[in-house]
Amino acid sequence: MLPSDAGLENARSVVRECRSLCVLTGAGVSAESGVPTFRGTGGLWRNRDPMSLATPGAFAKDPKTVWEWYRWRRELIRECAPNPGHEAIARIEGEKEDFLLVTQNVDGLHRLAGSRKLVEFHGSIWEVRCMDCARAEEVRSDFPSLPPRCPSCGGLLRPGVVWFGEPIPQAALAASLSMIGRCEVLVAAGTSSVVQPSASFALSVARRGGTVIEVNLEATPITESARFSFRGKTGEILPLLLARISHQRP
Ligand code: BV8
Ligand code: ZN
């Protein structure tokens, strides 16, 4: 069930009229592409909670098991394609003077959909980095054996993602905070808004008088900071919210 025309039309005109637009996405935007979310059903692997795997400690203790989880996700994501939500975000990028997409997703689907002005706030599941010589590269193919070893020095390779307890990469953090400090409108789509520091972005924008628009299946901790909060699928609502012309239903 799509939100009322009036609400969506108001929000759409706010998005159209603003000069500076930031979009923050979470796992919910990739759910309709078939990528399991972190906290929803289907997000678990071998009944393990992602929170117990996506940490430096888990990797130090058992790199092979952590890599089996990432191999399973990489295999699954490799078969997934961007959905209309990703495509709508990629389209509006070129229509705004000042635009930035901050994604918490590590699946690479935004880039595949054509987004270029984006920050991968939690890194990329396609990047691997050597724990010894810091050599980093994008590897989309599978590995002959796990855990994978560095072709330069034989060191242990890790996924190029940000684990819990690890700092956000400096450049990604700086670019995101600068945009959060200046954007007129923040669209927060498909995120449970529980993971810091990105979970605080909506409140920061609202506190300085910016407009927050949320799209989510459920209410979240940022819902009360949002001027508009639409209940529904990002793949259905984002194409309407970010459209150039209104899609008045017949
Ligand atoms: C940091 C990469 C500081 C890995 C991820 C106590 C102990 C330890 C740490 C902390 C602590 N308390 C706070 C912290 C900080 C911690 C944190 O926030 N923990 C929380 C959980 C309590 N944060 C960190 O550790 C961060 N770093 O703080 O550093 C620091 C500074 C200096 C020096 C050292 C340290 C780093 C956090 C990054 C963690 N890495 N991912 C990997 O992917 O393997 S986070 C992970 O969660 C994913 O990236 C995911 O994107 C992200 C957030 O989740 P969501 O994207 O929101 O996804 P989720 O499943 O939760 O929700 C989906 C939503 O979509 C739902 O609301 C659902 O309703 C909705 N939805 C579903 N389908 C649809 C939909 N909506 C619309 N349409 C649909 N179709
Ligand atoms: Zn190396």
Nearest ligand 1 atom to the CA of 165 is: 25
Catalytic residue check, 86 = no
Residue 137 has what pLDDT?
A: 97
How would you class 11 by CB atoms within 10 Å of its CB: exposed for 0-12, middle for 13-18, buried for 19 or more? buried
Q: Which of 52, 119, 162, 164 to mutate to test the pocket of ligand 1 (most atoms within 8 A of CB)?
A: 164
**In Å, how far are 62, 64, 137, 163, 168 from 52, measured between CA atoms?**
11, 14, 26, 10, 19
Amino acid identity, position 6:
A
Give me the amino acid identity at 200.
Answer: S
* CB-defined site of ligand 1, < 6 Å: 26-28, 31-32, 37-40, 43, 54, 104-106, 122, 161-168, 190-192, 194-197, 215-218, 220, 233-234
The SS3 call for residue 130 is strand
Locate 55 and state its tokens: 């940490």
Residue 125 has a pLDDT of 98
pLDDT of the residue at 47: 77
What are the φ and ψ backbone dihedral angles of 218, each rounded to 5 degrees?
-135, 170
Q: Which ligand is nearest the CA of 77, by number? A: 1
How much is the pLDDT for 49?
84
| Low-confidence residues of the chain: pLDDT under 70 | 1-4, 40-44, 246-250
Q: How far is 192 from 217, CA to CA, in rounded Å? A: 10
Please report the pLDDT score of residue 1 as a whole number: 45
Q: What is the pLDDT of residue 39?
A: 74
Output the CA 125–ligand 2 centroid distance in Å: 18
Question: Cα dihedral sign for 228, 229, 235, 236?
Answer: negative
One-letter amino acid at 137 equals: E
**Domains within the chain, CATH numbers bracketed:** 1-35+82-122+167-244 (3.40.50.1220), 36-79+124-161 (3.30.1600.10)
Q: Are 9 and 169 in contact (CB under 8 A)?
A: no
State the Cα–Cα distance between residues 140 and 153, nearest whole angstrom. 20
pLDDT by residue (tens digit) across 169-215?
999 999 999 999 999 999 999 999 999 999 999 999 999 999 999 99
CA distance readout (Å), 239 to 89, 229, 249: 8, 16, 14
Residue closest to 8 by CA, chosen among 190, 213, 233: 213
